[in-house]
């Protein structure tokens, strides 16, 4: 007979909005073991599995710490309550927790204060009690038996009133009847119970005892402080990115580049500092989607998107928000794992802003084959391919703007745009391979530019820091023959060095932050390396911090209007590094707003 051998959950802490799907190990009637589902629609030997989820709710009203969500809150920041900051961010598990978090917590107050600053003394009334030493007025009355009044957000109770009580003051509410359950806001602070039982298909009665498992208390999904779009073209107002409306004006468009960290790379060994629940894909995918949608960019260039995640999650979810999807999976000559979990580059664009004209797919493995045929001695071909073949790809898309492009060439003429999206994932010691791949991509883009004469954007994770040979080639159009990285060239594929050039007038989109002055720009300038005109970092792990990601644009046909603000290292280090409960990749997103401009007469 069908029996359940084991039930366990992939994550120890359930999070609002993130699917909970238990892992079941079953024994079939023939004694074989499987983890396949056995639904009522397809019984096995006259039996199927029935699932139920319960929320266990007691008389006690509970809140969880905003910094340590697995801990119950014991105090509440009254400044947050008065400023109408989301109530879940006001709770702390101890005075030390509140004190340690104050430097980052006060940013919430600063944002709220700037929003109401126009209302005169209201700001002082709310925030005047917080002095520069970091102390604050807090409500320390929260406990396991806190009154319901202390757990309200406005006039709406945070938790529903308890219904018919069972013995011990505990009530079980049935909340789901499928294998997967998605915790809601009503579940915050409560334990969930999953129940699985074998059922006779004919009588519909349970056979044997149910298998159950209890979760930890459900926690709210941590949310990051929204990053703002900072004008760099002379405007004097900052715009906040949210879902209330579009940022870009009719003649501009926005593009984002983001390495989202493939689940196949997100191991607890590499990122042991990130809580397991925050590293799990069910959590990270929802958090990433929330962040990406919040930016409302017209074009999205994502890297490290797994094949199955693109097809089953990102493409359908972003389609709901008006995006058309294009994807190029990495090749699998080196990769030895599941074909479905290979990652690649995904480019999305808003259908109401652009239409798809053409797509080019670049496979660097094919380019390596061609190179070794003509440039490498036959005795070295195998060695050369072993060095050059890394499965990397680039996705190049030509789009046509559907909006008015004032300032562009010939008003009324079709306005095309070429967008390249790549991930140069090469071991750091193979410097020649990185240079060769970037040069190969640039020569391909040159051909497109020569045939169509259209503006270009080159986005991606190049795994190359500012000042490296690949970055210098992109930014300067050539390489200094004495660049130290040119010394690593065992196959002589970079010679003569004079060939390592391109004619595209590429400029890094974030360079205006390095030279900017004025409102908002000085703060961003401190997050830039003024010797390279690049951000201090776009990748931040425990063992590395530096810039690897870029958006380059052709400066003769596009101008930068605004840039997404950069993050402070200090704000990320409170969680050790990235990824974290707030930010679900080890990279940060880059976003720029551009305007088409007329090319200079030649």
Q: Which residue has the tokens 């990122």?
A: 271
| Phi, psi values for residue 58, rounded to 5° | -110, 180
Show the tokens assigned to 483. Answer: 């660049």
- Per-residue pLDDT band for 137 (boundaries 50, 70, 90) equals very low
Angle between helices 431-452 and 469-476 (to 10 degrees): 20
Show the tokens assigned to 464. Answer: 């190359």
pLDDT tens digits for range 336-350: 778 889 999 999 999
| Phi, psi values for residue 109, rounded to 5° | -65, -40
Order of strands across the sheet that contains 3-8:
3-8, 23-27, 33-34
Give the pLDDT confidence score for residue 166 in this predicted structure: 53
Contact 341, 334 (CB under 8 A): no
d(CA 434, CA 427): 9
d(CA 257, CA 278): 22
Can you tell me whether residue 186 is helix, strand or coil?
Answer: helix
Contact 464, 550 (CB under 8 A): no
Contact 307, 253 (CB under 8 A): no
Give the pLDDT confidence score for residue 440 in this predicted structure: 98
State the CB neighbour count (10 A cutoff) for residue 70. 14
Count of CA atoms in the C-beta half-sphere (13 A) of 476: 15
Share of the chain above pLDDT 70, in %: 85
The sign of the CA dihedral 54, 55, 58, 59 is negative
Give the pLDDT confidence score for residue 184 in this predicted structure: 94
Bridge partners (DSSP) listed for residue 590:
257
pLDDT tens digits for range 444-455: 999 999 988 899
Give the pLDDT confidence score for residue 120 in this predicted structure: 45
Can you tell me whether residue 115 is helix, strand or coil?
Answer: helix
Would you say residue 123 has pLDDT above 70? no
Contact 475, 509 (CB under 8 A): no
- Nearest Cα to 227, choosing from 560, 563, 511? 563
Which stretch of 164-173, 186-195, 198-207, 210-219 has the lowest confidence by average pLDDT?
Answer: 164-173
| Phi, psi values for residue 277, rounded to 5° | -65, -35
Which stretch of 223-232, 388-397, 432-441, 524-533 has the lowest confidence by average pLDDT?
Answer: 223-232
Count of CA atoms in the C-beta half-sphere (13 A) of 142: 24
**Torsion, CA 125, CA 127, CA 128, CA 134, rounded to 10:** 160
Provide the pairing of β-strand 191-200 with 206-217.
Answer: antiparallel
Give the pLDDT confidence score for residue 444 in this predicted structure: 97
Query: Residue 178: exposed, middle, or buried by beta-carbon count in 10 A (0-12, 13-18, 19+)?
Result: exposed
Would you say residue 248 has pLDDT above 70? no
Would you say residue 234 has pLDDT above 80? no
Q: Distance between alpha carbon 217 and the CA centroid of its chain, in Å? A: 25
Helix/strand/coil (H/E/C) assignment for every residue in 57-91: EECCCCCECCCCCCCECCEEEHHHHHCCCCHHHHE
Would you say residue 592 has pLDDT above 90? yes
Query: Residue 46: exposed, middle, or buried by beta-carbon count in 10 A (0-12, 13-18, 19+)?
Result: middle
Average per-residue pLDDT for the chain:
86
Helices within 238-299 (DSSP H only): 276-279, 281-295
Within 128-227, strands assigned E span 138-139, 152-153, 156-157, 170-176, 191-200, 206-217
Q: What is the number of residues in the chain? A: 602
Would you say residue 143 has pLDDT above 50? no
More confident: 372 or 125: 372
Mean pLDDT score, 38-51: 95
pLDDT tens digits for range 492-521: 999 999 999 999 999 999 999 998 766 678
Give the pLDDT confidence score for residue 237 in this predicted structure: 41
- Nearest Cα to 266, choosing from 235, 237, 294, 306? 306
Contact 556, 260 (CB under 8 A): no
CA angle at 110 for the pair 108 and 112, rounded to the nearest 5°: 70
Would you say residue 98 has pLDDT above 80? yes
């Amino acid at each position: 007979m069908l029996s359940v051998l084991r039930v366990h959950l992939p994550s120890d802490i359930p999070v609002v909005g993130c699917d909970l799907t238990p892992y079941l190990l079953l024994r079939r009637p023939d004694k074989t073991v499987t983890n396949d589902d056995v639904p009522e629609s397809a019984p096995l030997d006259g039996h199927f599995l029935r699932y139920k989820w319960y929320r266990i709710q007691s008389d006690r009203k509970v809140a969880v710490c905003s910094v340590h969500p697995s801990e119950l809150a014991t105090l509440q920041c009254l400044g947050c309550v008065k400023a109408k900051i989301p109530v879940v961010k006001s709770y702390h598990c101890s005075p030390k927790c509140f004190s340690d978090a104050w430097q980052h917590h006060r940013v919430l107050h600063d944002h709220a204060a700037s929003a109401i600053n126009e209302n005169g003394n209201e700001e002082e009334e709310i925030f005047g009690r917080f002095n520069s030493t970091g102390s604050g007025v807090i409500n320390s009355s929260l406990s396991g038996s806190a009154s319901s009044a202390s757990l309200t957000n406005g006039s709406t109770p945070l938790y529903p009133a308890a219904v018919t009580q069972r013995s011990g003051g505990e009530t079980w509410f049935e909340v789901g009847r499928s294998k997967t359950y998605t915790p809601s806001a009503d579940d915050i602070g409560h334990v969930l119970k999953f129940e699985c039982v074998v059922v006779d298909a004919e009588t519909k009665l349970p056979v044997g005892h149910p298998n159950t498992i209890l979760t930890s208390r459900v926690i709210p999904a941590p949310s990051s402080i929204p990053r703002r779009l900072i004008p760099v073209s002379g405007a004097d107002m900052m715009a906040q990115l949210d879902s209330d409306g579009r940022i870009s004006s009719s003649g501009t468009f926005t593009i984002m580049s983001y390495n989202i960290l493939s689940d196949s790379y997100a191991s607890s060994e590499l990122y042991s500092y990130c809580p397991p629940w925050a590293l799990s894909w069910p959590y990270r995918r929802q958090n990433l989607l929330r962040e990406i949608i919040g930016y409302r960019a017209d074009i999205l260039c994502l890297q490290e998107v797994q094949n199955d995640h693109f097809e089953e999650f990102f493409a359908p979810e972003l389609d709901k928000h008006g995006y058309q999807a294009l994807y190029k999976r990495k090749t699998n000559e080196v990769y030895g794992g599941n074909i479905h979990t290979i990652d690649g580059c995904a480019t999305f664009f808003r259908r109401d802003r652009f239409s798809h004209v053409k797509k080019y797919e670049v496979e660097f493995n094919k380019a390596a084959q061609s190179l070794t045929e003509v440039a490498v001695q036959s005795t070295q071909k195998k060695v050369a391919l072993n060095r050059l073949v890394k499965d990397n790809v680039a996705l190049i898309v030509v789009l046509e703007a559907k909006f008015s492009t004032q300032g562009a060439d010939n008003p009324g003429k079709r306005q095309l745009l070429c967008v390249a999206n790549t991930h140069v994932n090469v071991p750091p010691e193979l410097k020649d391979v990185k240079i060769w791949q970037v040069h190969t991509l640039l020569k391909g883009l040159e051909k497109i530019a020569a045939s169509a004469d259209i503006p270009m954007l080159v986005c991606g994770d190049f795994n190359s820091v500012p000042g490296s040979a690949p970055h210098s080639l992109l930014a300067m159009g050539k390489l200094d023959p004495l660049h130290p990285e040119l010394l690593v060239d065992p196959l002589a594929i970079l010679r003569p060095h004079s060939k390592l050039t391109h004619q595209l007038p590429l400029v890094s989109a974030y360079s205006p932050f390095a030279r900017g002055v004025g409102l908002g720009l000085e703060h961003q300038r401190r997050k830039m390396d003024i010797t390279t005109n690049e951000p201090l970092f776009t990748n931040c792990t425990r063992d590395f911090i530096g810039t690897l990601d870029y958006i380059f644009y052709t400066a003769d046909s596009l101008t930068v209007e605004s840039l997404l603000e950069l993050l402070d290292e200090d704000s990320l280090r409170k969680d050790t590094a990235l990824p974290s409960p707030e930010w679900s990749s080890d990279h940060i997103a880059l976003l720029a707003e551009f305007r088409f401009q007329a090319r200079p007469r030649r």
